[in-house]
Chains A and B, each alone.
Chain A
């Protein structure tokens, strides 16, 4: 029996060498199944199971318990703080991203690639360092700590620190989406507009901005998702004061450590849905013919 199976395998193997390329043989069918199988198994254990767990745990004690967990004052405060932080950070980083990509993509100047590297720097830095730099500047024993204390200004363990750390972490996203897009689309229309007498602002709002609107939209939504979900950097500057300086991800940590799993995963489910929305927007943007980076 075994010998027979070996013969068949040998035949199929020989057969493969005798066929034209691209035709289905035993080996191509087998390797196709193997590749798809390994991919799905790997993703199932590492990605799909954790995603499903978020919702399974959030609804473990039923729908009512899930909704009940949002009535907690500290949870509501965490959601408010996260929304407020994003409302400050996202517009500022969007303006920065537009200015940076306009300067970099529309003009030729020396040390341009160095400037791009510096803008990308926050992506290469550990989130803990992104938060720590502000503690070293504004913390009690930091460079400006004593001065700030004398003037009764608190940045670390307060909302301004959270905003700064979030800004650092999400700094490059809009610029990174827009720079390659603007470079690819070129300057011709802008130059035509200027030559025909439009001023700089009109040209920017009527020509440049509409051209890059889809890339801008993805950059903004990505910035927003990262701003609302940032953990490491914010954790360092926040001080974890319940109901005051806890953002949603920090509140998840506290609830989890208190073994309030329904509460922790309920907040986590909101952030997971935000991530899903972000990916859907990315898909829509790509369908507009723009390939993201």
Chain B
């Protein structure tokens, strides 16, 4: 809708149904009380710092080190998920095999499982003597208590977002289009690059953004496996908790404002990506 359209549209279009005032009023009241006012309190608390103090807090080497880990590991985890999430989604959409329904259902597990549970379980599995860690140890790969562990935890947390976004997009890929391309002599890679990838690209990017956004803020599943050494394995949310425990409310609020800002940017990016995906969907006539 154009900007003019938004302005000329009446505040509410008439309807025979009752209850708009009650439900809309309750919604905005509850939303303001539980979400908006507290978030405003955060930004206002950060605003009590002077500009130079604010930048001193958010550009402190320890804070910058934590951004590097939080953003780097979240980015890497989202990239790993882009590859393996695609493979899993493809497997679930295209192939039949025993136990497929159960595997499909378990994809949502990291989403339903409390983060503290996945945190202690991952740490146990990837510790030096753990089920998976014991095979990585001889290769010289230490997962638990390193940045690799952080990445592993964020990969698990982001996985359902990627698979569940790519899966419906893959179901949309028209098999007859692939068959036609194959009949016309296109190779497997060619079909993937020219037919499958363009169809799922918006979903793949949306899934990447969702997994990344979730990973940047993740706390529970990371703190057990990360080791929490300042500058090395300390994520930004943990640094905020440490500042709060030291009653440095303004410093914590400053870091929180940075993270909040990034969440807003990610939310905007995700909305734009989803709109792009829908637009393509319409243009291709489906």
Contact = CB atoms under 8 A, between A and B. Distances in A.
Interface stretch (B53-61, B112-120, B278-286): B112-120
Contacts of B185: 17
Interface string B6-27: 1001111101111110111011
A21 B183 contact: yes
Interface of A is mostly: helix
Contacts of A47: 106, 109-110, 156, 159
A256 interface: yes
Interface of B: 6, 9-13, 15-20, 22-24, 26-28, 30-31, 34-39, 41-42, 44-45, 84, 87-88, 90-92, 94-95, 97, 103, 105-106, 108-110, 112-122, 124-125, 130-132, 152, 155-156, 159, 178-179, 182-183, 185, 188, 213, 216-220, 224, 237-238, 240-241, 244, 247, 249, 252-253, 256, 259-260, 263-264, 266-267, 271
B131 A53 contact: yes
Contacts of B9: 110
Contacts of B88: 39, 42-43
A167 interface: yes
B248 to A, nearest CB: 9
Nearest to B12: A109
Nearest to B104: A283
A110 B12 contact: yes
A283 B107 CA distance: 12
Nearest to A31: B188
A118 B95 contact: no
Nearest to B120: A256
Contacts of B224: 253, 256
Nearest to B90: A35
B115 A134 contact: no
Contacts, number: 288
A187 interface: yes
| Shortest beta-carbon contacts, A-B, top 8 | A126-B217, A229-B114, A133-B38, A50-B121, A231-B220, A232-B219, A200-B18, A21-B179
Contacts of A119: 27, 31, 35
A138 to B, nearest CB: 9
Interface stretch (A66-74, A146-154, A209-217, A263-271): A263-271
A109 B6 CA distance: 10
Contacts of B97: 36
B113 A46 contact: no
Contact of B17 (A27, A35, A125, A194): A194
14 contacts: A47-B159, A49-B125, A99-B26, A100-B27, A103-B23, A109-B12, A118-B36, A124-B266, A128-B219, A135-B249, A168-B38, A222-B112, A232-B237, A271-B116
A252 B217 contact: no
Contacts of A21: 178-179, 182-183
B13 A272 contact: no
A242 to B, nearest CB: 16
Contact of B220 (A39, A95, A129, A249): A249
Contact of B213 (A95, A124, A142, A279): A124
A49 to B, nearest CB: 5
A228 B114 contact: yes
A168 to B, nearest CB: 6
Contact of B179 (A22, A117, A253): A22
A228 B252 CA distance: 26
Interface string A76-112: 0000000000000000000110011011101111100
B220 A107 contact: no
Contacts of B30: 96, 99
Contacts of A262: none
B217 A230 contact: no
Given A22-B179, A50-B125, A129-B256, 14 more contacts: A99-B27, A107-B13, A108-B12, A109-B20, A110-B12, A124-B217, A124-B264, A125-B217, A126-B217, A132-B256, A133-B38, A134-B38, A275-B114, A279-B112
Interface string A112-143: 00010111111011111100111111011111
A127 B237 contact: yes
Interface string A199-213: 110011000000000
Contacts of B105: 279, 282-283
Contacts of A225: 112
